[in-house]
Structure formats: structure tokens, C-alpha cells
Chain A
Amino acid sequence: NAGVTQTPKFQVLKTGQSMTLQCAQDMNHEYMSWYRQDPGMGLRLIHYSVGAGITDQGEVPNGYNVSRSTTEDFPLRLLSAAPSQTSVYFCASSYRPYTEAFFGQGTRLTVV
């Protein structure tokens, strides 16, 4: 049972490039979320989804797009990378909104 899988683990982008961070879960969870964590800070919510076809913005959505075409996958797209998006990104999923959330191992992104 893999849980929540994020790829890639590390990525370096140039300013202005676009890319997609992948997140997949095999637990049939309806609820999925993306967070970012900057040095010395707690996690901040970027976008979340309550099921296939339904997404909503979190605390810091600017510069990011999401879509949810399947229950398993919840990719995060950076449209035009900026140095301010240098961070560690975590994907999470849960069965119900109030139940235990499972997190991936994170993607460390550097934008130069």
C-alpha cells in the first residue's frame, strides 16, 4: 500500500518555466490538498479538492492551478515559476474532511 506518492522529489526551475507536481493516492480518498512549507514555518494550504471534478482555493492559491479528473490524482501546476515559489510542497489526502490526513514525502522546488 503506497499511500500518497509525490513526484518528483526535487526540481530546479528557471524563472518563467512551467511544471506540474504530481500527487497520487491509492486509498480511495475523496479529499486531497496541496500545501507549501517555507523555511521555519508551518504548512500553508494552496488548493484542495473534495472529490473528482471539484476543487477550491486555499490560503495561498496565486500562481498555482489544480484540477481533479480522477479520485486518485491531484496535480499541481505552476504556470510561470517565480523565485517566491521556492518551497517544499506537500500533498495530503483523507477519507473524510475530519479524519486522519496522510501526507506525501514532499517535493523540494527551487526557482532560480
Chain B
Amino acid sequence: DAKTTQPNSMESNEEEPVHLPCNHSTISGTDYIHWYRQLPSQGPEYVIHGLTSNVNNRMASLAIAEDRKSSTLILHRATLRDAAVYYCILRPHLNTGTASKLTFGTGTRLQVTL
């Protein structure tokens, strides 16, 4: 499986934008970049995913480098409720059972302060 590298932790002030980086230099052509987050004492929650183009949804934006070897999750205005561990995961866009597996690293722990 292709590997991702994320910083262990980041801090942000409330109401400021947050850019969470992820390196994935061995990404393959069929891999989508997915982001999940895990709030304290909860199960992981889907945030966003993309292939090549930048993506936006109600939770966040995903900026993908042109060579696809890195990406950045952008939270436009961090709130205290965004304090969580954020996981960057590569998933092959294949209709096979093994593609359903999510390989979680240790993620980035985001702290948000007032």
C-alpha cells in the first residue's frame, strides 16, 4: 500500500484557517486521496476526498499538488469542534474487496485554541 506522511501535531487559533499537509510520494494512478478525522472518543468521520483537482465541500477544501505527491486539507475557519486527529489515506478506486480497506497512519492531532 502506498504510504502517507503527516506531521504529528499542529496548533491553530480559533477562527483562523488551518492547512494540514500530507505527503504521498508513492501514490499510484488509481489512488484517491481521502481525509478522515476522529474527534475524541468517537469513530472516524469522513471529511473529503479527491483525485487530481481541488475539491470543496461544506467541511473543508482539499488542495492536490499537480504531481499528486502531496496534498493539503484546508479548514477555512477552525473552531474548537475541529480539534481532532486528521488522517490522510490513499484508497484505490477499484471495485474490489481489498480496496475497501482503510490504512490509517497515526495522523495529525490538531489543537485549536481560543
Contact = CB atoms under 8 A, between A and B. Distances in A.
Interface string B9-51: 0000000000000000000000010001000011111100100
Interface in A1-46: 4, 31, 33, 35, 40-45
Interface in B55-79: none
**What's the interface size class on A, roughly?**
20 to 34
A102 B100 CA distance: 12
Contact of A96 (B45, B87, B95, B103): B95
Contact of A103 (B45, B103, B105): B45
Contacts of A94: 100
B43 A104 contact: yes
B104 A50 contact: no
Given A42-B104, A54-B97, A97-B96, 16 more contacts: A4-B43, A33-B102, A42-B106, A43-B102, A45-B101, A45-B102, A48-B101, A50-B97, A90-B43, A90-B44, A92-B102, A94-B100, A97-B100, A98-B92, A98-B94, A101-B44
26 contacts: A4-B43, A40-B106, A42-B87, A42-B107, A43-B104, A44-B104, A48-B97, A48-B101, A50-B100, A54-B97, A58-B101, A90-B44, A97-B100, A98-B92, A98-B99, A100-B46, A101-B36, A101-B46, A103-B44, A103-B45, A104-B43, A105-B42, A105-B43, A106-B41, A106-B42, A106-B43
Interface of A: 4, 31, 33, 35, 40-45, 48, 50, 54, 56, 58, 90, 92, 94, 96-98, 100-106
